[in-house]
Structure 1
């Protein structure tokens, strides 16, 4: 059994790194994603693990927000395994058995420089790459509301050109693609296959800089049933949930190990008003303890 949490956070303004308490909400960068859960998991591990008849590990990593490849990914590649893994990402004490895969890709275009007054003498690489982005977005438009579908975020468009009176001869766009297991163009494909597919869609050279498979755990497994029961015993409904964001559970899923996301409540992760709901922490701790103890009884 592994309890997994990540300690890194995304960037934020200086004020977000000073915790602020407002009623039952604790605001701050990483409060919800996922330092509060990490503290609870560490506490449960310290107090409960020595009493259990099976081995339990606490896995704390520091690179989940940039892909997790050197933390959980590296450890799984080196042979770390478990019968079941709980990722402490935020879930409001619901159990996430499925989450999307991730592709981080760079679209690159080259052109020909020229004086801006005579653009017909050159070839504007920025126009080429932005047209490529539009073709990708036409295939995967931004949903108006939550939808279990492939989405594309255009994170950055850039060029080395700095002069207004020069036609840029190089440009690139960085995109973040999240995809469900049902996307046959991306799920189960290698980085090279995905790059070829995206090149065909966009018409420009594409390099896949990071690739993470979708995550899936058996919703009918004994462990998931026990975790749902534990959530119900502390007043939550223990419903199953699908998440749009990728998490480190995908590394375990890829090697046949069931991993679920199960964490406390709150809102605003990665945003300016991120907070954890402190009322959910005692219930979260009790649910983890109950689950581990019941799992030991089943053994």
Structure 2
């Protein structure tokens, strides 16, 4: 990787220590890309043993950092279920953490300023595979990009936080304050891995979650989210007696149409009230200009081709900005479903049920004047030569568990910052290789300035 001029917009020369750190990161670029490639090649889908396989790749890399202590454990689902917002507690399908550990690397220090660096190892399904140009697990490179499921969300960010610490240590520096690297499973399905780290006592005075903001953007807030399942009852009949039956798919379509109307109405009502959540940009963390969105991502019905479907279910997610609570959202959506059902004779007599599962995240938003945010912002500026654009994302991530205080857990400032790319959750996902290195540099400087390294 060719060298570049550091701090292009600043007239003051950078400290020699900073130059040494940034030079080391660029020297490590090839190794960092190889590590990311190894991560992408493991199909670490939530709830599968492949999460554990990917965590072994992470653990092996952490073991190369001198002076780091590694902690690896399989979370206890019963203990996590006592956490107020644990996302899986309403599931009854045997979900557990066997073979899906959390991996933490820690370097201790005595300073009051400490920092958690957090990223997730799990990825969403790449289906349909036919939409991909190449296999989602090939980790091929082209045009300054690395492709593959998880390249952008969020294995690229995981590589950056590990190599930020690794490069500092290889420069002969040690932290004055505690540094904690967390590689967690299950972010995409609700956050059980990060919750497990909090329950085990891993805390710090600040946190940075390496989600794909893009190097020129710094995320100060995250929307809340709720996952829902709607169950509908029809009446089965043979095909020749279709009119005597009640088609649950048709009933589902009526409810779906009501949800679309409900979603559009919420968007109109909230538009302009949350400008930081409404900013548009490149990447998965930016929305379409609306601070709220609802999507139905799964619809199932019936159990035999030659039978009027007697049941249907739809599953989806609703997001909401600061100023609304999860309890309010649950009531609002449930009321919309029941109101639509009341206008249909069959559903009025057989009302649908609304259940809630998986991600139960509350929104948050930090002030740009927060000291930790100012530190991160300054380090990004020094790396890129320009200050980052600040925004809040209508999506939701594990940052909410650090920002929102629940009992003795959380309540610390958290920045969301990671390398940019495209097509996260879609075909041909990619991350910009240059942004991997720039993110690593900004995080390394943040560690030096916030925790102190000498």
C-alpha distance 188-270 of structure 1, shift in aligned 2 (>3 A): closer
RMSD: 2.4
What is the aligned counterpart of 2:252 among 109, 115, 129?
129
Question: CA offsets per residue over residues 164-220 of structure 1, 9 Å max, x none?
Answer: 3x22221111112122123x3xx242xxx6544322211221000122212323322
What is the aligned counterpart of 2:186 among 63, 67, 73?
63
Instruction: Map 1:84-233 onto structure 2 (within 5 A).
Output: 84-93=206-215, 94-141=217-264, 146-164=288-306, 166-182=307-323, 184=324, 187-189=325-327, 194-203=329-338, 204-210=352-358, 211-233=360-382
Match in the other structure for 1:48: 168
- Range that drifts further, 12-21 or 223-232: 12-21
- Range that drifts further, 254-263 or 115-124: 115-124
Question: CA offsets per residue over residues 13-49 of structure 1, 9 Å max, x none?
Answer: 3712112111311122211112222112112223437
In the alignment, is the contact (CA less than 8 A) between 2:122 and 2:188 conserved in 1? Answer: yes
In the alignment, is the contact (CA less than 8 A) between 2:375 and 2:446 conserved in 1? Answer: yes
TM-score, reference length from structure 1:
0.88
In the alignment, is the contact (CA less than 8 A) between 2:120 and 2:154 conserved in 1? Answer: yes
**SS in structure 2 opposite 1:227?**
helix
In the alignment, is the contact (CA less than 8 A) between 1:110 and 1:125 conserved in 2? Answer: yes
Quote how far apart the aligned CAs of 1:78 are. 4.3
Match in the other structure for 2:107: none
**SS in structure 1 opposite 2:119?**
strand
Q: Is 1:239–2:389 an aligned residue pair?
A: yes
Quote how far apart the aligned CAs of 1:114 are. 2.3
Quote how far apart the aligned CAs of 1:2 are. 0.2
In the alignment, is the contact (CA less than 8 A) between 2:226 and 2:326 conserved in 1? Answer: no
- Range that drifts further, 101-110 or 35-44: 35-44
Q: Is 1:276–2:431 an aligned residue pair?
A: yes
Question: CA offsets per residue over residues 34-92 of structure 1, 9 Å max, x none?
Answer: 222211211222343761211110011121122222x0023224443221110111111
Match in the other structure for 1:260: 415
**SS in structure 1 opposite 2:354?**
strand
Question: CA offsets per residue over residues 135-165 of structure 1, 9 Å max, x none?
Answer: 121010397981233211111111233233x
- Structure 1 gaps of 5+ residues are none
Instruction: Map 1:5-84 onto structure 2 (within 5 A).
Output: 5-12=119-126, 13=129, 15-48=135-168, 51-69=174-192, 71-84=193-206
C-alpha distance 273-30 of structure 1, shift in aligned 2 (>3 A): same
C-alpha distance 82-218 of structure 1, shift in aligned 2 (>3 A): farther
Quote how far apart the aligned CAs of 1:237 are. 2.6
**SS in structure 2 opposite 1:118?**
helix
C-alpha distance 127-78 of structure 1, shift in aligned 2 (>3 A): farther
In the alignment, is the contact (CA less than 8 A) between 2:175 and 2:452 conserved in 1? Answer: no
Quote how far apart the aligned CAs of 1:4 are. 0.4
Quote how far apart the aligned CAs of 1:297 are. 5.3
TM-score, reference length from structure 2:
0.60
| Matched residues, number | 290
Higher relative contact order (CA 8 A, sep 6+): 1
**SS in structure 1 opposite 2:240?**
coil
